[in-house]
């Protein structure tokens, strides 16, 4: 078992992973806001009481909050960090009103809002492109390299050397796609399309539900066929191939996230698989012990997922604002303030409930509740 870093190093690596991503996300909002002629009153990394900060010549307060689990840019005319409009902005003098976020056309407000998630997607894409340029592409074909005795694969008739070309209507080009598809579908009957000795055939099989510990001792609950891969091959990419390969990886991460969320919503995966900041910090520390290359890959993964999550149409998130702007573009007037206020309150309650739930999951994965019950008992 690989030793997990101590608490201090775990926190340091977590901040190294998440801090720059939060900054670049908010920087996307800030820069596009400036290009659109909007004044930024506050640029904050973290929430809560200010630890340190300064005010630049444009009057923007740059600060760091004590809770580093997010950030925000408060533009002129915003009543709070969630960018709800201040009812008094329309009474400002013409010049000041022209710099207010809510005075801008809906397309400019949408562009400013979307800039944060786009920045995260771009950062993840560039990190993946850098890894591909420096190290090449590790490719493991979707060929059965080994079969575990007594496994679902053995009982279903898989053979060593079989090439799996699709699972249901999902094409399988590499072993990673095979693993991710099976991982998220324990006990679901799947249709495996296989190439064997020049012949095409189909095998119906349901992955077993498996609980196992990884190299760091983390419990994984997943689907398993008992299939092992063949040896991977490192492929050097031409410079013209790198952009497309990095884009494929980025889209693949988004698809895997959507797939995982879908499996949880439909009950095929346990909600216990949802992770929060505590488990993310733990993973950051563990991946960092493997070296800088895996850590950079981890940061790319987090960045892409951060962009995706912020686009979900939940009030308080960027996606919630974009949803309101889409409605405004259709009906040609802003959504009534009362409706927005109700939606933001509901969104805040949903996000806080979700945060409490995933934090409880995280602490359970650390076996905290088991240890506490042992102390009490």
Active site residues: 26
C-alpha dist (Å) from residue 114 to 99, 136, 312, 318: 19, 32, 11, 7
Residues 6+ apart with CB under 8 A from 281: 10, 11, 13, 14
Helix 242-265 / helix 175-183 crossing angle, nearest 10 deg: 10
Distance CA 182, CA 201 (A): 19
* Degrees to nearest 5, angle at CA 267 with 261 and 269: 60
CB 219 within 8 A of CB 119: no
Listed in sequence order, the DSSP H helices in the chain are: 7-35, 94-98, 106-135, 152-156, 175-183, 242-265, 277-288, 292-310, 318-331, 337-365, 368-376
3-state secondary structure of 11: helix
Beta-ladder partners of 199: 196
């Amino acid at each position: 078992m690989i030793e997990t870093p101590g608490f201090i190093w775990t926190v340091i690596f977590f901040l190294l992973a998440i801090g720059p991503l939060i900054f670049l996300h908010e920087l996307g909002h800030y820069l596009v806001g400036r290009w659109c002629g909007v004044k930024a009153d506050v640029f904050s990394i973290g929430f809560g009481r200010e630890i340190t900060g300064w005010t630049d010549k444009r009057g923007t307060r740059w600060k760091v909050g004590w809770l580093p689990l997010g950030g925000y840019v408060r533009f002129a005319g915003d009543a709070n960090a969630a960018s709800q409009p201040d009812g008094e902005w329309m009474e400002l003098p013409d010049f000041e009103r022209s710099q207010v976020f809510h005075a801008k056309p809906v397309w400019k407000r949408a562009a400013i809002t979307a800039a944060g998630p786009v920045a995260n997607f771009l950062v993840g894409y560039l990190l993946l492109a850098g890894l591909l340029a420096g190290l090449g592409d590790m490719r493991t074909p979707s060929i059965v390299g080994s079969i575990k005795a007594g496994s679902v694969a053995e009982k279903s008739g898989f053979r060593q050397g079989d090439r799996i070309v699709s699972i249901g209507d999902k094409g399988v080009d590499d072993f990673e796609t095979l693993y991710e598809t099976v991982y998220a579908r324990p006990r679901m009957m799947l249709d495996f399309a296989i190439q064997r000795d020049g012949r095409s055939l189909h095998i119906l099989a349901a992955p077993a539900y498996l609980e196992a510990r990884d190299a760091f001792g983390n419990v994984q609950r997943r689907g398993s066929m008992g299939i092992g891969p063949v040896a991977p091959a490192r492929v050097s990419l031409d410079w013209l191939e790198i952009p497309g390969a990095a884009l494929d990886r980025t889209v693949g991460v988004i698809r895997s996230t959507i797939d995982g969320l879908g499996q949880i919503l439909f009950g095929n995966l346990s909600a216990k698989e949802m992770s929060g900041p505590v488990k993310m910090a733990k993973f950051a520390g563990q991946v960092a012990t493997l070296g800088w290359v895996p850590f950079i890959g981890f940061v790319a993964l987090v960045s892409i997922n951060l962009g995706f999550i912020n686009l979900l149409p939940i009030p308080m998130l960027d996606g919630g604002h974009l949803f309101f702007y889409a409605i405004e573009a259709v009906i040609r007037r802003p959504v009534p303030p009362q409706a927005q206020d109700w939606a933001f309150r509901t969104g805040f309650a949903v996000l806080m409930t979700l945060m409490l739930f995933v934090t409880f999951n995280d602490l359970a994965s650390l076996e905290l509740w088991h240890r506490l019950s042992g102390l009490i008992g």
